[in-house]
Chains A and B, each alone.
Chain A
Amino acid sequence: MSFFLEVLVGGLLAGVMYSLVAIGFVLIYKASGVFNFAQGSLVLFGALTFVSLVERHVAPWLAFAATLAVLVLIAMAIERVVLRPLVNRMPIVLFMATLGLSFILEGAAQLFWGAQVHGLDLGIDDKPLQLGGVMISQFDLFAAATAGVLVIALSLMTSRTRLGLSLRAVADDPLAALAVGIRLPRIWAVVWSLAGFVSLVAGLLWGARLGVQFSLSLVVLKALPVLIIGGFSSIGGAIAGGLLVGASEKLAEVYIGSAIGGGIENWFPYVLALLFLLARPAGLFGEPAVERV
């Protein structure tokens, strides 16, 4: 029984890490309506910049601030240069543009910082904790706590501040938001900067988990099913989807996987997402599509 709990808890905590990446996607989708495949490369770029600065003896807080500034600039540049000319195109075209963007970012990351792999030490000793006979990783708890704080902050921002209100308006109907005087470029800049911040946090946590190297950008493939299940435009959905994907993928790998040879973690979340979609075609918390003839 305790083994089952261990797998479950481990899965939930891993799922929180997926949600962290997914939240970046959600923010951008809410603001610009695009599924930003380059999010993974942003995570990589951020982590690599931070680690390279720290290795050159820059103080960590300064490195964090500098990296954040760089990411925000990149995010705003993306919004300006790539997305604005492509406004009103098909979602798939926007998606492919962000895919091209990911090539640029990955090439740039290795151009500036080299192809070496780096370790990232956040100062957390990852010895396992024993809570009631169940083994839990300290690092995962820390990551979950960070993600929790982030989510609460974002939720408070969207529901309690003027900025959040404007954001929700823009996400709902950009034209109407324009009509009541909300400055769209400003909102976009803010949201993309927020997404940059979330990417940096995700990059640091994932970088500490995997090491800062090229494969970091592949976390986006884990975030996809999370988003599909939770809906592209809901932060709460990203959390719920992440927890669901993390827990189910680990449990499936251990219990079902051992029966059919293992290695099912790659496709199981996608099949799960598919099944969810069949039941709810717009995701758990997404907005159902309205079609008119």
Chain B
Amino acid sequence: MNLSLSRYFRAVSSRVTATIGVSLLLAAGVVATASTAYAGGEEYFPLQSYRVGPYAAGGTGFFGGFIDYMQLINTRDGGVNGVKLTWSECETEYVVEKGVECYERLKAGLNGAPAAATNPLSVGIAYATIDRSTVDKLPLITINHGRTDSTDGAVFPYVFPLQLNPYSEVSAIINYIGTQSGGLQGLKGKKIVVLYHGSPYGRETIPVLDTLAKKYGFELTQIEVPHPGNEQGSQWLNIHRINPDWVILRGWGVMNPVALKSAQKVGFPANHIIGNIWSNSEEDVRPAGDAAKGFISITTHPSGTNYPVLQAIDQYVVKPGKGNLNDPARFGTVYYNLGVVNGILNVEALRVAQAKYGNKPLTGEQVRWGFEHLDLDNARLKQLGAFGLVQPLKLSCADHEGGGAVRFQQWDGQHWKVISDWVQADRALLRPIIEKSANAYAKEKGITPRDCSKDL
């Protein structure tokens, strides 16, 4: 074959490839900037979901539950007071840059429906979108996690660590250990090891645990497991040497089953390991097999399907074949139920806001008001069919967490069984620390904290 001819063909095919590439980009530009017709009457939830990558198991469960609940509201109730819910997903793979890009892409709304709130379920993405959410006036919901000092709504008007922030989480665990030791005074002299994930999420609670150790007089050792936590042999040999009474596991992803297996290797009993809110799902314990039997963890919501709201989802969404989960066996698991709870709270905030602003699609600022006036007491929870699933919550301008209570559950090899009633965190102790941190943040960023005595 003529050499120049082959080179020519190569150049042509390269050009073709380049043209295709350029057309793809142009198409993307068109899609991105295409103005869409106003459809009216809908509220939009942008979903920065992750269904791919190392945390996909949790992501598919959570977003599955969230979407199914929204589907229930649309199907059974015709929306929230006639305003239907709509949503679209953007894959983040739990990567911060993708999460930010998804946020920017979706924040403007969908087909004229305004965005109500973002729920990225990721500490990294949450951190990166705190400033943007405040500027764009779009609530950022970080249920059961997030920046602890964002509990102070005076400094963080648009960030909501609903139900439980990291400080409350460890405080509740310490209180539970207290009940297992005959009262909080029984903590004195006990040995507690905290095994935490080497990331901002894991390190967030180091100072407050030191404070609690000083207050109650227990011997505290905090051991770090470098991300991702595939290898924990030396950490557990260390723990074996220390021989503590309790180990608190603040893990994430693969760190959890490996911790349980490594504990088994050194003979540390699983029923003296307490996992936190991100070490509490079926996905965390199943890979550990036998090593996980007896493992205790906290939860803000029990797993299981015995709640009217879940049965409603089953009846109106799953049975007609519109369920979001690929594997129906995951219905009622911890992550799925977290998604449902998240849905309940988001929709309820919408309802509260509509009571003030009218039964129409609301802006992010209005939804924020709704979140800050969320008041779920037992009566309302019974109406929603979530009594026992969700704890009573009361948010306010100054308190974006609202709850701070957890229940404890134990893994029996097949299911999580709840073994305690609601255990409250010591919020009175934690509040001054949170305010101090929030005010320092405000000073550094030049923010003037809101005056929460005025109802804005």
A and B touch in the complex (CB under 8 A): yes
For residue A24, CB closer than 8 A to chain B, the reply is no
Q: In the complex the two chains form, is B234's CB within 8 Å of A137's CB?
A: no
Set of chain A residues within 8 Å of B240, measured between Cβ atoms: 6, 135
Q: In the complex the two chains form, is B267's CB within 8 Å of A135's CB?
A: yes
For residue A107, CB closer than 8 A to chain B, the reply is yes
For residue A282, CB closer than 8 A to chain B, the reply is no
Q: In the complex the two chains form, is B51's CB within 8 Å of A209's CB?
A: no
> Chain B 247-274 against A: per-residue CB contact (8 Å), 1 yes, 0 no?
0000001100110010011110000000
Q: In the complex the two chains form, is B257's CB within 8 Å of A266's CB?
A: no
- Given A114-B327, A116-B57, the answer on whether A209 and B261 have CB atoms closer than 8 Å is yes
For residue A211, CB closer than 8 A to chain B, the reply is yes
Q: How many A-B residue pairs have CB under 8 A?
A: 120
Q: In the complex the two chains form, is A119's CB within 8 Å of B57's CB?
A: no
Q: Would you give the shortest CB distance from B270 to chain A, in whole angstroms?
A: 12
For residue B283, CB closer than 8 A to chain A, the reply is yes
For residue A168, CB closer than 8 A to chain B, the reply is no
Residues of B in contact, count (CB < 8 Å): 43
For residue B198, CB closer than 8 A to chain A, the reply is yes
Tell me which of A126, A222, A249, A261 contacts B261 (CB under 8 A): A126
Q: In the complex the two chains form, is A253's CB within 8 Å of B234's CB?
A: yes
Q: In the complex the two chains form, is A215's CB within 8 Å of B54's CB?
A: yes
- Given A115-B60, A126-B265, A263-B226, the answer on whether A10 and B287 have CB atoms closer than 8 Å is no
Set of chain A residues within 8 Å of B286, measured between Cβ atoms: 117-119, 211
For residue B241, CB closer than 8 A to chain A, the reply is yes
Which of A186-244 touch B at CB < 8 Å? 209-215, 218-219, 222
Q: In the complex the two chains form, is B231's CB within 8 Å of A265's CB?
A: yes
CA distance A119 to B225 in the complex (A): 21
Residues of A in contact, count (CB < 8 Å): 47
Q: In the complex the two chains form, is B289's CB within 8 Å of A3's CB?
A: no
Q: In the complex the two chains form, is B53's CB within 8 Å of A119's CB?
A: no
Set of chain B residues within 8 Å of A140, measured between Cβ atoms: 265
Which of B202-231 touch A at CB < 8 Å? 223-228, 230-231
Set of chain A residues within 8 Å of B53, measured between Cβ atoms: 214
Which of A74-113 touch B at CB < 8 Å? 107, 110
> Chain A 120-151 against B: per-residue CB contact (8 Å), 1 yes, 0 no?
11000111100000010101100000000000
B residues contacting A by CB (< 8 A) are 51-57, 59-60, 198, 223-228, 230-231, 233-235, 237-238, 240-241, 253-254, 257-258, 261, 264-267, 283, 286-291, 326-327
Closest 10 CB pairs of A and B: A211-B287, A115-B56, A215-B254, A263-B224, A214-B54, A253-B234, A137-B265, A250-B234, A119-B287, A211-B257
